Chain A
Amino acid sequence: MSDGNQPPSSLKVVGTRPIRPDGVDKVTGRAQFGADFHLPGMLTGRIKRSPHAHARIVKIDTSAAEKLPGVKAVVTGADLDVGAGGDIEAGEHAAAMKDVAANCLASGKVFYQGHAVAAVAATSPEIAADALDLIEVIYEVLPHVVDVDEAMAPGAPVLHDDMFTKGVTPKPAKASNVAQKHVMGRGDVAGAFAAAAVVVEGRYTTAAVHQGYIEPHACVAAWGADGQSTIWCSSQGQFLVRAMTARILNMPLSDIKVIPAEIGGGFGGKTTVYLEPVALALSRKCGRPVKLVMSREEVFLASGPTSGSSMDVRLAATKDGKITAAEMTLRYQAGAFAGSPVNLGCMTAFACYDVEHLALVGYDVVSNRPKVAAYRAPGAPMAAFAVESAIDDLARKLKMDPIDLRILNAVKDGAKTVYGATVRYSAFIETLQAVKAHPHYQSKLKAGQARGVAAGFWFNIGGESSAAVHVDEDGGATVVSSNPDIGGSRASMAMMAAETLGLPIERVRCTVADTTSIGFSGSTGGSRVTFATGMAVVEAAQKVVADLKRRAAQTWECDLAHVEWKDGVATCLDPSKDAKPLSLKALAGKSAKTGGPIAAEVSLNAQGAAAGYGVHVCDLEIDPETGRTTILRYTAAQDVGRAIHPAYVEGQLQGGAAQGVGWALNEEYVYNAKGLLDNASFLDYRMPVASDLPMIDTILVEAKPNPRHPYGAKGVGEVPIVPPLAAVANAISAVVGQRMTSLPLSPAKVLAAGKAP
Chain B
Amino acid sequence: MARVVSISSKFRDLTGGLDGLDVDARSVRELLRLLEARFPGLGEMVEAEMSLAIDGEIHQDALMEPLGPASEVVLIPRISGG
Contacts and interface: CB of A to CB of B under 8 A. Distances in A.
A648 to B, nearest CB: 17
B34 to A, nearest CB: 19
B53 A461 contact: no
Contacts of A343: 77
A422 B81 contact: no
Contacts, number: 118
Interface in A417-475: 418-424, 458-464
B74 interface: yes
Contacts of A609: 58
Nearest to A181: B9
B61 to A, nearest CB: 6
B5 interface: yes
Interface stretch (A197-205, A275-283, A374-382, A538-546): A374-382
A526 B17 CA distance: 32
B7 A528 contact: no
B7 A184 contact: yes
A54 B62 CA distance: 42
A267 interface: yes
A268 interface: yes
Contacts of A418: 7
Contacts of A463: 60-61
Contacts of A458: 81
B55 interface: yes
Given A183-B9, A422-B55, A462-B60, A526 B78 contact: no
Given A182-B9, A374-B82, A718-B81, A421 B76 contact: yes
Interface stretch (A90-98, A114-122, A123-131, A737-745): A90-98
Contacts of B62: 605, 607
Given A169-B13, A420-B74, A89 B80 contact: yes
Given A420-B5, A607-B59, A90 B77 contact: no
Contacts of B12: 169
A271 interface: yes
B82 A525 contact: yes
B53 A419 contact: yes
Interface string A63-94: 00000000000000000000000010111111
Interface string B45-82: 00011000101111111100100000000111111111
A526 B81 contact: yes
Given A418-B7, A463-B60, A93 B77 contact: yes
Nearest to A170: B13
Given A419-B53, A419-B74, A422-B53, A461 B81 contact: yes
B53 A420 contact: yes
Interface string A711-734: 000010010000000000000000
A92 B82 contact: yes
Contacts of B13: 167, 169
A347 interface: yes
Contacts of A211: 82
A527 B81 CA distance: 7
A94 B61 CA distance: 13
A461 B7 contact: no
B7 A525 contact: no
Interface residues of A, number: 53
A344 interface: yes
Interface string A178-193: 0001111000000000
Contacts of A344: 77, 79
A166 interface: yes
Nearest to A169: B13
A267 B82 CA distance: 6
B38 interface: no
A608 interface: yes
| Max chain A C-beta neighbours (<10 A), residue from B48, B59, B60, B65 | B60
B62 to A, nearest CB: 6
Contact of B80 (A167, A461, A607): A461
B81 A421 contact: no
Contacts of B59: 607
B82 A378 contact: yes
B56 A422 contact: yes
B82 A377 contact: yes
B61 A464 contact: yes
A489 B76 CA distance: 29
Given A167-B9, A421-B74, A605-B62, A459 B49 contact: no
Contacts of A718: 81-82
A462 B78 CA distance: 12
Given A167-B9, A419-B7, A607-B62, A528 B77 contact: no
Given A462-B60, A609-B58, A421 B53 contact: yes
B80 A92 contact: yes
Contacts of B77: 93, 182, 343-344, 347, 419
A164 to B, nearest CB: 13
A715 B81 CA distance: 11
Nearest to B10: A167
Interface string A301-344: 00000000000000000000000000000000000000000011
| Max chain A C-beta neighbours (<10 A), residue from B49, B74, B75 | B74
A382 B79 CA distance: 17
B81 A377 contact: yes
A524 B79 CA distance: 14
B56 to A, nearest CB: 3
Contacts of A181: 9
A419 B75 CA distance: 8
B49 to A, nearest CB: 7
A462 B58 CA distance: 10
A528 B78 CA distance: 14
Contacts of A92: 80-82
B10 to A, nearest CB: 7
Contacts of B74: 419-421
A271 B80 CA distance: 11
A528 B57 contact: no
Interface of B: 5, 7, 9-10, 12-13, 17, 48-49, 53, 55-62, 65, 74-82
9 contacts: A90-B80, A93-B77, A182-B9, A375-B82, A423-B56, A461-B60, A527-B81, A607-B65, A715-B81
Given A92-B82, A378-B81, 11 more contacts: A91-B82, A169-B12, A183-B9, A267-B82, A375-B82, A416-B56, A420-B5, A421-B57, A461-B58, A526-B81, A718-B81
3 smallest beta-carbon distances between A and B, as pairs: A268-B82, A422-B56, A420-B74
